[in-house]
Structure 1
């Protein structure tokens, strides 16, 4: 049998290969870098990691359940600790032998009901006919770059290119974007730059990483509150702990808690409160020496860094094969394709607290579905009928997520995990 090809050896690719192997499925993993780790290996040419990067969720809320991080790993591990974690995971589950490295996938095309995967390895071209393809190449690689009016003569870059605060030495810096990376980088910059301004275009909820010495994402009672009540309670607690953003010169969010991804950073508001970071509104246009802003003010800069996020990007396959509509593929459970029963998108999911275990639950379900398909079990056909019927349905738990590109594949953790579990049970029962 031709192999199932998994593209990517980050956390999603690793657990996907593991779960396929456990089901006795012939699998080939293709990774562009020379080792596993994906985004978290800063040495990879496809990594957008930077030297100061740490997890924004705590290790116990992020790790694989059956492969916990050691006690001597920090509560919010740095990127190099996570690189080692994934290397250890691959070794422990004997995954290296299923991967080929330094393989850049260039195209994935339909071929007689299967897929022709073309890739380049060490300047040699290769092709493999795959029984199925699982895309696990990540969602944080292709920068979303804004083309502002005007022209700036100084240095411009995206956070995808950022590695070290050395680039800020003695420069006037403007950072565009107030997400988690933007706030991390602004905190880096204040220690090296002449001054730091930040363009903040909308409101955010700001959370510290610890409350009373406990990781913030581990707090909460044992009784799960209704979503509307949790939004109200947690939103009130955030305002009590961090204060209203407008007290720091930032816009207040005009949406409820959890309707967009919060910023988790213990130092950002601290530096704004100390005058180390100046908040600016949206850029009206660039000038040779800086920028004009929407409030009529202007600033002069040596470096403008866009921390404006990333776009979903699967450059090796035509979007039509992914049932792509608007900002994202329209799939069932963000995984299963109504057009191609042997093409899967792995890890195209974001949710507060989902962690890598949530991705592993994806991998378990996909492995079960493929095994049933190979066994020509009628349960697989019934599942495919469900995929065609429900592709594109949002698992939002009733949340009104902001209409942002990065939120197009956001899900509500509890509802999503319950759906994965339900499908696993029904497949086991032959439903």
Structure 2
């Protein structure tokens, strides 16, 4: 129904009976599905033109899930049985579209949230888009951890060649025969460097910090699955020592390749900082053979290439920034300090970071991937559905009152 309030007279205002979910990526679609399963209809707002837009438009062609599909399923509906153990980008997008269709989730595409703020006078969240303001008792932030690209401190403006962030990288075929500087050695930096090799390019990968590289599988099983199983029975640091021992046995000493390991173990580091270990899918073999050159830190980008901290200077045809992403929540959400840090991440560690004050929730900010997203989505839907049922019960009692 219409809602009137002070402010812009041109702004159409609408009261929404169910929760507003901002974002139609895996997090937003998952929480909307869980709410629908509990009998609660959500209004999903999405800036882009599709579900899982980051996967559809901002990922490289060779991308596959880093973990087996059983660890990446959203609540209430698994991957098709015929999908491989590690689904491709296209298969994951197909799964997301089928998931949204199955739960009748129809996001309002092309709807960017400009501002969201709690109004105690009306007891709800004012969510402003272009030309409209929606008001609801509940606001679920599902824009995720990976929205805005992180740019390196070293400026690339002087470089005469092509400079792109990984969000715009599609295939090594676009760089065939080129000498390419890849800034960053996380999973994206490693996989893009490997893809460049396969298309006859010469990648120079910059290792800016320490990094844990683990085999994707050990003993024929997912390394992640092995780690999860062992954590049920052993202390975390014992599990980390085991993983590192197997990694050294299968991959060798990565320090000698210019990939120094952190002092903190891989699982402990992930839990504390959210920094994900690299799961090797073939890049390490190319580093050992010299096809991927490992470089230690960029001192300066020049017109034709780069100067490195070790004194070397190289010329390049292109630069690819595998420098990651960051949240943009702080740019549009006002009054979310109970739930979010100033960097736009959940304040409380998993599994307690999903609920704030005044009907504010977040999903997909756990630094635990899709497993964390699923856990948050189920918790949020359970919490909101209980309130929803209580409100409806109160309304029915009021309507049936003899007064």
TM beyond 0.5: yes
Alpha-carbon RMSD: 2.4
Which residue of structure 1 aligns with residue 6 of structure 2?
none
Uncovered stretches (5+) of structure 1, i.e. residues with no partner: 43-47, 378-431
- Within 5 Å, give how 1:352-391 maps onto structure 2: 356-374=370-388
Is 2:350 aligned against 1:336?
no
Q: Does residue 282 of structure 1 match 2:289?
A: no
The size of the alignment, in residue pairs, is 361
Q: Over residues 340-387 of structure 1, what are the superposed CA-to-partner deviations in whole Å (9 max), with x where a residue is unaligned?
A: 321212111113xxx53432221222223223444669xxxxxxxxxx
- Identify the residue that residue 67 of structure 2 maps to in structure 1: 57
Match of 1:398 in 2: none
Alpha-carbon distance in 2 for matches of 1:284, 1:63: 42
Tell me the CA shift for residue 94 of structure 1.
2.7
User: Aligned runs of 1:305-316 on 2, under 5 Å?
Assistant: 305-314=320-329
In the alignment, is residue 204 of structure 1 matched against residue 211 of structure 2? yes
- Structure 2 unaligned regions, length at least 5: 1-15, 270-274, 392-403
- Provide the rounded CA distance (Å) in 1 between the counterparts of 2:149 and 2:208: 18
SS at match of 2:99: helix
**Higher-Rg member (1/2):** 2
1:244 aligns to 2:253 (yes or no): yes
1:77 is paired with a residue whose SS is: coil
In the alignment, what sits opposite 2:84? 74
- In the alignment, structure 1 residue 233 sits paired with structure 2 residue 242: yes
State the structure with bigger RCO (CA 8 A, min sep 6), 1 or 2.
Answer: 2
| Superimposed CA distance per residue, residues 366-411 of structure 1 (whole angstroms, 9 cap, x where no aligned partner) | 223223444669xxxxxxxxxxxxxxxxxxxxxxxxxxxxxxxxxx
Task: Report the 3-state secondary structure (helix = DSSP H, G, I; strand = E; otherwise coil) of the residue aligned with 2:208.
Answer: coil
Question: 1:136 deviation in Å?
Answer: 0.8
Cα gap change, 1:236 to 1:319, in 2 (>3 Å): farther
CA distance in 2, matches of 1:84, 1:371: 29
TM-score using structure 1 length: 0.77
Counterpart CA distance in 2 for 1:17 and 1:311 is 23
**Which secondary structure state, in structure 1, belongs to the residue aligned with residue 195 of structure 2?**
helix
Q: Check conservation: 2:186, 2:278, Cα contact below 8 A.
A: yes
Q: 1:110 to 1:163 in 2, by over 3 A?
A: same
* Stretch of structure 1 that moved more, 316-325 or 141-150: 316-325
Other-structure match for 2:48: 33
Q: Secondary structure at the match of 1:104?
A: coil
Alignment match, 1:142: 148
Helix, strand or coil at the partner of 1:12 = helix
Distance change >3 Å, CA 71–CA 364, structure 1 → 2: closer
Q: 1:168 aligns with which of 172, 175, 181?
A: 175
**Structure 2 length as normaliser, TM-score?**
0.82
- Say which is worse superposed, 242-251 or 262-271, in terms of deviation: 242-251
